[in-house]
Amino acid sequence: MTVPTSPDGMWSIGELAEQAGVTVKTVRFYSDRGLLPEAIRSVGGHRRYGPEALDRLRLIRSLRTLDLPLPQVDRILAQEDAPGATDALEGAVAGQLRELGTQLSTLRWREAALHLLRDCTPEERADRLRLIGAVNTPPTTDALARFWRHVLPARLPARLLSTLLEAAVPQPPADPTPSQVLTFARLHAVATDTRVLDINIRRLAPRTPDGSCRPAVLYEGLTEACALASAHVRAQRPPHAGEALDCFVAAHAGLRNMRDTPAFRRQLSFQLAQLAHPLIDRYWQLAGELPSASPQPTIGATDDWLRAALDAQVA
């Protein structure tokens, strides 16, 4: 029912509250915050509102229903009649969607983690609780990226480093199963293992005889070699000589400014075996167990295939 206005076309605070379906306290609160300007004051000092106040009050209620904070509501109302009013509202809605997405991700992760703990044996529970407790909620890839920034050589071009990190760092599952929570937690544990300080993969990029250091030459070539090998890995073909292996060896030879010879291949096979580290192997094993938007095998899987092809050839 519409509350009739007085002869002067104004509403009292009670009449406006009744019309909007809120309490007088709510109207007074928004008025005191400056969100709902009053038109005039009566002779007795009572607040009086014009019909436009109802539209403003309804808009405030709608914005608050979306859980927008009052300062943001204030900014939207301040720009209501300005050219950027739509942008302000769109920005607020986008921000709320991002925040809600984070909250939902947190809840999905917690639910899967709780199922994981509920369904394990008492002997497994303490270890799983330790693994899960070490991961932020919702999980991030910060620790995994730090792992590779330590492992990879310094002075890589920013574009190449970004490409390598994108390929090496799997994203946390958006809607994880309990087993995926465990896999990601184990991957996080590998990435934060103190033994990462012992990984000497940086020796893959030594200085050349002329004193220069060109790690980008190596990793650009390795990226191409892994791309060539990925089709063989997907098809489960046994490691063999061919274009992918030639590209792999050429990357290492180019770094050292050496020729690709049988002797170089034997030396490279020995050196790569010396550089192998169980943390790297474990990382790629776990990364391969996580869901991926890419149909391509992991870098670890293609690198294993290429090294096996090299070992088979020199053997």
111 phi-psi bin (left φ>0, alpha ψ -120 to 50, beta other) = alpha
Residues 6 or more apart whose Cβ sits within 8 Å of residue 51: 5, 9, 11
With 0-12 / 13-18 / 19 or more C-beta atoms within 10 angstroms meaning exposed / middle / buried, residue 123 is exposed
> Which 3 state secondary structure label does DSSP give 76?
helix
78 — pLDDT class (breaks 50, 70, 90) = confident
Whether residue 184 is predicted with pLDDT greater than 60 in this model: the reply is: yes
Q: What is the dihedral of CA 66, 69, 74, 76, to 10 degrees?
A: -40
Q: Give the pLDDT of residue 81.
A: 60
Q: What does the chain come to in residues?
A: 315
Q: Give the pLDDT of residue 6.
A: 60
52 — pLDDT class (breaks 50, 70, 90) = confident
What is the Cα 233 distance to its own chain's centre? 27
C-alpha distances in Å from residue 101, one per residue of 73, 107, 175, 178, 184: 21, 10, 12, 20, 20
Q: Give the pLDDT of residue 82.
A: 62
C-alpha distances in Å from residue 122, one per residue of 87, 95, 117, 184: 54, 42, 9, 21
Q: Give the pLDDT of residue 48.
A: 87
DSSP H helices, the chain, are: 13-20, 24-32, 52-65, 70-78, 85-118, 122-133, 142-151, 158-168, 178-191, 215-234, 243-256, 262-275, 278-287, 299-314
Query: What percent of the chain has a predicted confidence (pLDDT) above 90?
Result: 57
On average, the pLDDT of the chain sits at 88
Whether residue 44 is predicted with pLDDT greater than 90 in this model: the reply is: no
Whether residue 291 is predicted with pLDDT greater than 80 in this model: the reply is: yes
C-alpha distances in Å from residue 201, one per residue of 40, 112, 148: 76, 35, 11
Eight-state DSSP code of residue 258: -
